[in-house]
Structure 1
Amino acid sequence: MTTPTPTPSTITPSTINPGRTALLAMDFQNGIVPLAPDADALVERVKGAIDDVRAAGGTIGHVRVAFTENDWAAVPETNKSFTAVATARMLHHEGTASQIDERLRPQDGDIVVRKIRYSSVSTTDLHDQLTDRGIDTLVLAGISTSGVVLSTLIDTADRDYRVYVLSDGTADPDPETHRVLVDKVFPSRAHVIDTTELRGLLQSA
């Protein structure tokens, strides 16, 4: 039996309620940011979006991928992606590569979580923290589009969040993969906007 593909909504809400909204800056860490095309410009756009959401009274969430020795040891050989990470002992939780880019440094009141898989939700308490704050709307920014952004979008959409993806706040090492996901895949599950549109939605609230 084939599950029907939802028809993408062409209607984007005209406002965002900042008090019920969190912008998630995902995997913007020292070892990953350089993998993005035009990385410095990407970080500056996301920094501007963070500033806009913060100024409007919204929540900022920071997600990083990082492993303890026990986390590496617990990765089963069935996991194609993370077996390689564990074998190479990559992204130690105290290492420089796993630290959040200084330009996006968390502030008091922000949510910060550490994950050990692609999704920002599956191996963290992020959903519980968002629920405790009454948040039902997410704005996603991250590296990479085909990794953390895709996985988090599917996970949070299944949890009934209203989800926005920042088309110019996400990036993938493969620009064509980014384009296909943003143009063809994401619109069935989320509102795809850019950072300028986000600012307008916040200002209209």
Structure 2
Amino acid sequence: MPLTTLDTRAALVVVDLQHGIMRIPGAPYTTAEVLERTVRLADAFRASGRPVVLVRVTTAADGADATPGRTDAGTGPRTAPPEGWDRIVDELAGHPEDITVTKRNWSAFYGTDLDLQLRRRGITQVVLTGVATSIGVESTARAAHEHGYHVTLATDAMTDMDGDAHRNSVEKIFPRLGETTTTDDLLKQLG
């Protein structure tokens, strides 16, 4: 579905495009495809004077700051992540005007200053890309909706570890939270 409006005060929020997560193959899109589309969007947002927010997830090597609570998935044995796994990919990093948010949960809003950063800039709309669709992106979209932002989801600039999970988010959840669109449609509106 085409996007109805791109607000003049829109921000691109990129979820978890970092070295460790880029190793995930991705479904239905590869993480390389998601990165390429997100880089195009980030360049266009920057060129239009709109902010780009780069969200990264991290945790202490010993898991001391991991989200508590029991899950059916369990936590399993904890091993230290590889060095640099939580570093934003080079293709997106290096722009001093970008905002970087570090999270320790699925949502980029919970326990971070993302809402404060957006409100200080008068942002009314967030455009989301990233990995994984049904986890970090969906959690961030839900929180953005709850915070009163217009939510736009570039569904071809996000992917999941499971194609069915991606489709469920795109087809059943996202239409209730905002508008879904494509990278090309967003680029036309930014042009």
TM-score in same-fold range (> 0.5):
yes
After superposition, give the CA deviation of every residue in 1:52-92 in whole Å (9 maximum; x if it has no partner).
Answer: 1111111000000012358x32446515399738833437x
Q: TM-score, normalised by structure 2?
A: 0.89
Letter in 2 for 1:27: D
1:26 to 7, 15, 32: 15
- In structure 2, the CA distance between the partners of 1:74 and 1:26, relative to structure 1 (3 Å rule), is closer
Match in the other structure for 1:67: 59
Cα distance in 2 for residues equivalent to 1:98 and 1:68: 11
Match in the other structure for 2:71: 80
1:102 to 82, 90, 99: 90
Alignment pair present for 1:48 and 2:40: yes
Name the SS for the 1:192 alignment partner.
strand
Name the SS for the 2:13 alignment partner.
strand
Alignment pair present for 1:137 and 2:125: yes
Q: Structure 1 vs Structure 2: percent identity of aligned residues?
A: 29
Match in the other structure for 2:183: 195
- In structure 2, the CA distance between the partners of 1:82 and 1:103, relative to structure 1 (3 Å rule), is farther
Name the SS for the 1:80 alignment partner.
coil
Q: TM-score, normalised by structure 1?
A: 0.83
Deviation at 1:125, TM superposition (A): 0.5
Q: Is the 8 A contact 1:77 1:83 kept in 2?
A: no
- In structure 2, the CA distance between the partners of 1:145 and 1:11, relative to structure 1 (3 Å rule), is closer
Q: Return the index of the structure with the highest Cα Rg.
A: 1
Cα distance in 2 for residues equivalent to 1:85 and 1:67: 15
The two structures, once aligned, show a CA RMSD in angstroms of 2.3
- Structure 1 runs, 4 residues or longer, greater than 6 Å off: none
Match in the other structure for 1:5: none
- In structure 2, the CA distance between the partners of 1:36 and 1:192, relative to structure 1 (3 Å rule), is farther
After superposition, give the CA deviation of every residue in 1:141-180 in whole Å (9 maximum; x if it has no partner).
Answer: 0100011011001111001000100111110011121112
Deviation at 1:106, TM superposition (A): 4.0
Q: Is the 8 A contact 1:165 1:193 kept in 2?
A: yes
Count of paired positions: 188
Q: Is the 8 A contact 1:76 1:83 kept in 2?
A: no
- Higher helix content, 1 or 2: 1
Cα distance in 2 for residues equivalent to 1:149 and 1:45: 15
- In structure 2, the CA distance between the partners of 1:30 and 1:197, relative to structure 1 (3 Å rule), is same
Deviation at 1:12, TM superposition (A): 3.9
Letter in 1 for 2:43: D
Match in the other structure for 1:4: none
